Amino acid sequence: MGTEHPWLQWALDNAWLIPVLPLLGAALVGVFGSRLLRGASHWPAILGVAGAVLLSILLYQGVGELAHEDYDRTQVVYEWFPTGAADDLQTDTHDESWFTVSFRLDPLTAIMLLTVTVVSLLVVIYSRDYMRHHNHPERGYERFFAFMALFVFSMTSLVLAGNFLLLYLGWELVGLCSYLLIGFYYQRPSAAAAAKKAFLVNRIGDFGFGIGVLLIYLTFHTLDYQVVFAATTAAMSGATDQLQQVLGLADTASATRVMLLIQDRVAIIALLLFCGAIGKSAQLPLYVWLPDAMEGPSPVSALIHAATMVTAGVYMVARCGALFVADYRVMIVVAVVGGVTALFAATIALAQYDLKRILAYSTISQLGYMFLGLGAYAADSAIFHLYTHAFFKALLFLAAGSVMHAMGGIIDVRRFGGLRKILPVTFITFVIGSLALAGFPLLSGFWSKDEIIHAALQQQPVLGYMALLTAVLTAFYTFRMVFLAFFGQEKIPAGVHAHESGGWMLWSLILLSVGAAFAGYAGVTSFTGHGFVGLFEPHGKFHEFLHPVFTPFTAALAEMQFLPGGPGSHGGEAAHDYTLMYVSAGLAILGIVVAYLCYVAAPTLPRAVRDAWPRAYRILNQKYYVDEIYDAAVIRPLRGLGDFCFGMDNYFVDGLIWVVTAVPQFLGHLLRSMQRGAMQAYGLGMVTGLIIIVVLVLTRG
Amino acid sequence: MSGSALAYVMYAIFALGGLGVYFALPQEGRWPSRTAVVLGLAALLGFLVLLGLEFAPDGGGGLYWVLFAGMAVFAAARVVTHHRPVYSAIYFVVGVLAVAGMMLLLAAEFVAVALVMIYGGAIMVTYVFVMMLAQHGGRPIYDHSSRAPLGAVLAGFVLTATLSGAIAEALPAGAAAPTTTVNYDVDFRPAAVEESGPLPAGNTAAVGATLLARYMVPLEIAGVLLLIAMVGAVAVARKRIPVTEAGALAPPAERPLGQSGREAEPFVPELKKV
Amino acid sequence: MTHYLIVGALLFGLGLVGFLSRRNLIIVFLSTELMFQGAVVNFVAFGRLHENLQGQSFALFLLAIAAVEASLALALVVLLFRRKGTLDVEVWRAMQG
């Protein structure tokens, strides 16, 4: 593996620095923050993440240069621990194998790293001002930056992982950081409860995920991506000799055995891994933690619950494409879950008033889009949407945070209004982000969303129409948010001094808005277009870059072409469907116009609608009562079980112990009552004993 | 009467007697009821008749035995159940006399006389003296109630019945009843003393000779024991009388009864009934 | 002989009853004297049975022991009386648990 530039080579060889630099930052802040650094605690975090950004850029360049070379993209960083001899029925000559910490340095990793580190850096810069009030740091300032840097470490480890072990490690670590950061204001009971909820719901998903990883190990006897995916591909196509070579098996017979085993299990494995994705990426039914997670500070919501952690599920499914495409039913499940979640969450967002909650449901909905894309064999589109979504959603959250900062912590959109004059920069950036989210033409969100809808229509038309409907709703509720907050009469809650945010916050907002606006062009520009329209090829530089990673998807698509009535393939072909592009643009504009009508032109209209269908409104406003359903169906029985066990412990087990202790006590009491201090009583006792002895002696002789 | 039937009859008599004694024990100041008297006397009579007929038909004392045994048992019962200590002491003397009579019947004259002298003359006198010193007048509660009367009666009578039953079975009636004029030989006389001629006739001489010849060591030890007891009694019961600074005995006013040389207040009993 | 033995047992038993149930210290010890009486009767009866003087000799020793015991017991009774001012057995409950 060699590039021409020594810097790039150095970056590739030392990719381990990318996670480690933020970790060092976290350690520095953690150790020295409360004593030495205090107000300057943000520097180690910013510097660490900035270093990671630089290295990610270099890595990206390096991977790009080597894109067409054949090299081992898995880099072993550290040999961690050995396993015992894993001999069982499957393999005959498997020696001790070591679990390693290994990185996978391929295009997908590079893109993800760039996204993660850049957005992280901007968010951390933003946090410097957000976590201050009148230039005085908040309580827990150091803790915040330590956790943020730790999170960046966790996420980059997850993304860089070259085997499932490191993936799982990063997976759990991001869950931990999420818990720590959601519960940042731990003295607030709602925040503590939300952190617990996030962790526990994630745990449910992670349980399935863990079992999936175990199953992978049992089936393949390795956790390395390369080996597992190659083996799966070989097994699904019946190439036993290739399988034998990949897994290092002894002979064809064992290869056949393993092949059959893989063919049996791969669907289950994929579904189990998907469980983890459902939990981590907040899909139906494990999405309930994400709205509550808004209890954390806005930077946390921006970074973790919009741009990075929740996208880990999408990344994982994209990475494990070989496992997922092996069974078409799994892909259907993925697509259905994604599509339904997208629509479901969008409907809930229509009736929410908390600015951050609307954005949270919007995130769930957009993540649903990504899974829909994955399920429709358009993995590159899904990752593209992930990338654009990271920018505009983070932007929106940070802008909402700016609003919140100005409004003194109030986030209910009914309590303020007409802020566009007071917070001009926030307003502009917010609008840019909203346009991107709504899929307004020419902004980034438009391109990525459009591709997914196209893919969905090709594969599962029903889901495609659902996605179109969701697009309208997305535009509507996004601009409902904008119009309610920034337009209309100026209304500021009492006692709040509304001012535009500080310099650091503004700059990160501006930079993010640039990204939100223009990041999409990476996915559509290519150098083979003709004219203006031809510039917008569906297969831009972005997709080209990622192409080698997603061969399983493209291969599966190619196969499906031969199925009778199978849909046409998605990419790489001739005419892009311009009709769809116009339709989705029109829908986005339609949504915006309707929102304008409702909230600016005729403000009484929403109220009329609400009064016309009060029950529907209430259902949406109460989030379909899902939390209540969970409480009744799951939490109460579990708590009942807990109470029962507690009662068992208290009464039964402690009762046993009490009996054991009561016996000596009782005996003692008995014996004590024999001691009266009265001599004659003792005499009586003695005589009684004497009589007994005499009787015994005389009768027995 | 066969052995087991005899035993059961005896047990019945003992039960009756026990019941009588139970009712006779002083409880809460109630006088021994007539029930007790009737029961007790009946038991006693039955007892005497039974034993007299069964075990002492001829010889072994006959009528005299009945008399003395009856007196002894009755006196013992009254010692135990009387509510006034002085009467208990008197009844005890009666009992001693009865036992002495029985000794005579057994041809143990020396023992009989010694019993009367030592018990009646020495021990009882001591008891009466102490009663004089310590006994409250009137009706103190501790004379009019017993603790665990049922338990005591049961214990005593069950033991007695068991032993009696065993005795009755082990030694059948009429065993070895020599006449009252038997004169035991001396148990042992050393050769040197033997030469000095025959002993004067009489139980006393025989007992004396036996004691001195055969049981010399126990005799001496008994003497030492008596000495120890005397010294001990004096040491234990010594009363420390406070002295004034001048060395003279403190005046009687300052020597209240019941003090043993240290400050202790008279105890006013507030006791529960047992 | 049996009748003498049974009388002796009866005397012993009655003395036991008195010892265990009376509350007056002096009567308690008087009952022990009664028990001694029973023992004396037994010894002498057995001596008669075996036709030697062992029983009577031991009965005399018993007499000495009885005297010793009576004197010491009464000394103690006097001491106890001085402590608590009463002859009641019930007051001595310091070891009550």
pLDDT, tens digit, 9 for 90 and up, residues A474-492: 999 998 888 888 887 777 7
For residue C35, give how far its alpha carbon lies from the nearest alpha carbon of chain B (Å).
10
The confidence score (pLDDT) of residue A53 equals: 93
Predicted local confidence at residue A257, as pLDDT: 81
- The span from the CA of A178 to the CA of A181, in Å, is 5
Whether A403 contacts A423, CB under 8 Å = yes
Q: Say whether pLDDT at A572 is over 60.
A: no
Inform me whether the pLDDT recorded for A569 exceeds 50: no
Asked if A21 contacts A52 with a C-beta cutoff of 8 angstroms, the reply is yes
Q: Are A34 and A88 in contact (CB under 8 A)?
A: no
Half-sphere exposure of B170 (CA within 13 A, CB side): 14
pLDDT at residue A571 in the model: 42
CA A693 to chain B, closest CA, distance in angstroms equals 10
Nearest by CB to B155, from A687, A695, A698: name it. Answer: A687
Give the confidence band of B261 by pLDDT, cuts at 50, 70, 90: very low
Separation between Cα atoms, residue A154 and residue A303, nearest integer Å:
13
Give yes or no for residue C63 having a pLDDT over 50. Answer: yes
* Confidence band of A539 (pLDDT split at 50, 70, 90): low
- The pLDDT assigned to A529 comes to 41
Determine the average pLDDT of the residues in C28-34.
94
Lowest mean pLDDT among A88-97, A302-311, A639-648, B216-225: A88-97
Lowest average pLDDT, out of A230-244, A526-540, B59-73, goes to: A526-540
pLDDT digits (tens, 9 = 90+) for A215-229: 998 888 888 888 888
pLDDT of B263 > 50? The answer is no
Question: What is the arithmetic mean of pLDDT over A416-431?
Answer: 84
Cβ–Cβ under 8 Å, residues A474 and A438: yes
Helix C2-21 vs helix B85-105: crossing angle, to nearest 10: 160
pLDDT above 90 covers a percentage of chain A that reads 22
Residue type, A545: F
Alpha carbons B61 and B47: distance in angstroms, whole number: 16
Could C57 and B214 be called an inter-chain contact, meaning their C-beta atoms sit closer than 8 Å? yes
Kind and range of the H or E element at A198?
helix A189-220
Could you tell me how far CA A383 lies from the centroid of its own chain?
14
Per-residue 3-state assignment (H helix, E strand, C coil) for chain C: CHHHHHHHHHHHHHHHHHHHHECEHHHHHHHHHHHHHHHHHHHHHHHHHHCCCHHHHHHHHHHHHHHHHHHHHHHHHHHHHHHHCCCEHHHCCCCCC
C 58-97 → A contacts, CB under 8 A:
89-90, 92-97
CB contact under 8 A, A687 and B159: yes
Cα separation, A368 vs A469, in Å, equals 13
Q: In 10 A of CB A412, how many CB atoms?
A: 13
Q: Is the pLDDT of residue A5 over 70?
A: yes
Give the neighbours of chain C: at least 3 Cβ pairs within 8 Å: A, B
Contact indicator for B40, B20 with CB cutoff of 8 Å: yes
pTM: predicted TM-score of the whole model, two decimal places:
0.65
Residues 12-41, chain C: which have Cβ within 8 Å of A?
A: 16, 19-21, 28
B98 has pLDDT over 90: yes
Question: What is chain B's mean pLDDT, rounded?
Answer: 77
Which pLDDT score, from 0 to 100, does residue A88 have?
A: 46
pLDDT of res. A512 = 84
Mean pLDDT for A587-616 is 79
- Convert the pLDDT of each residue in A352-369 to its tens digit: 888 899 999 999 999 999
- Residue A339's nearest CA partner among A370, A362, A381, A310 is A370
The confidence band for A372, taking pLDDT boundaries of 50, 70 and 90, is: very high
User: Does B33 lie at the interface with C, CB-CB under 8 angstroms?
Assistant: no
pLDDT in tens, A314-328: 999 999 988 998 888
Q: Beta-carbon neighbour count of residue A507 at 10 Å?
A: 15
How much is the pLDDT for A95?
Answer: 43
Instruction: Please state, as a whole number, how many other Cβ atoms lie within 10 Å of the Cβ of residue B28.
Output: 10
**The pLDDT of residue C14:** 94
Q: Which two tokens stand for residue A652?
A: 């039964």
Q: Residue A170 has what pLDDT? A: 93
Element (DSSP H or E) covering residue A136: strand A136-137
Q: Which residues of B touch A684 (CB under 8 A)?
A: 148, 151-152, 155
| Inter-chain residue contact B143 with C23, CB threshold 8 Å | yes
Contact B108 C66 (CB under 8 A): no
Task: For residue B73, give the nearest of B31, B102, B36 by alpha carbon.
Answer: B102
- Token digits of residue A676: 């009266």
> Are B102 and B65 contacting, i.e. CB atoms less than 8 angstroms apart?
yes
Q: Across the interface, which of C11, C18, C91 has its CB nearest the CB of B271? A: C91
Instruction: Dump pLDDT digits (tens) for B183-198.
Output: 566 666 666 666 666 6
Identify the pLDDT of residue A701.
63
Nearest-CA neighbor of A455 among A376, A538, A547?
Answer: A376
Structure confidence by residue, pLDDT tens digits, B223-253: 999 999 999 888 887 776 666 666 555 555 5
Backbone angles phi, psi at B241, to 5 degrees: -100, 125
Per-residue pLDDT band at A236 (split at 50, 70, 90): confident
Q: How far apart are CA B183 and CA A341, in angstroms?
A: 127
Q: What is the pLDDT of residue B259?
A: 45
Asked whether the bond before A285 is cis by omega within 30 degrees of 0, the reply is yes
The fraction of chain A above a pLDDT of 70, given in percent, is: 90
Q: What is the mean pLDDT of residues C44-61?
A: 88
pLDDT value, residue A596: 81
- Which pLDDT score is estimated for A167? 93
B window 36-55, beta carbon within 8 A of C: 47, 51-52, 54-55
Structural contact between residues A355 and A481, judged by C-beta atoms closer than 8 angstroms:
yes
Chain A closest-CA separation from residue B268 CA (Å)? 19
For the ranges A84-93, A530-539, B92-101, C40-49, the one whose mean pLDDT is highest: B92-101
Neighbours of A65 (CB within 10 A): 16
ipTM of the complex as predicted: 0.93
How much of chain C, in percent, has pLDDT values that exceed 70? 97
Confidence at residue A531, expressed as pLDDT on a 0 to 100 scale: 40
Lowest pLDDT segment from A37-46, A114-123, B108-117, B256-265: B256-265
For residue A186, pLDDT over 50 is answered with: yes
Confidence of residue C41 (pLDDT cuts 50, 70, 90): very high
More confident residue, A510 or A174: A174
pLDDT in tens, B26-78: 876 555 566 777 777 777 777 777 777 666 555 556 778 888 988 999 999 98
Answer whether B85 sits within 8 Å of C86, measured CB to CB.
no
Predicted local confidence at residue A533, as pLDDT: 45
How high is the pLDDT of residue A87?
46
Q: Supply the pLDDT for residue B234.
A: 85
Cα A676 to chain centroid, rounded: 76
Chain B CB contacts of C77 under 8 Å are 130, 134
Dump pLDDT digits (tens) for B155-182: 999 999 988 888 877 766 555 555 445 5
Crossing angle (nearest 10°) for helices A225-236 and A189-220: 60
pLDDT digit string (tens) for C71-85? 999 999 988 888 888
pLDDT confidence tier of residue A242, bands split at 50, 70 and 90:
confident
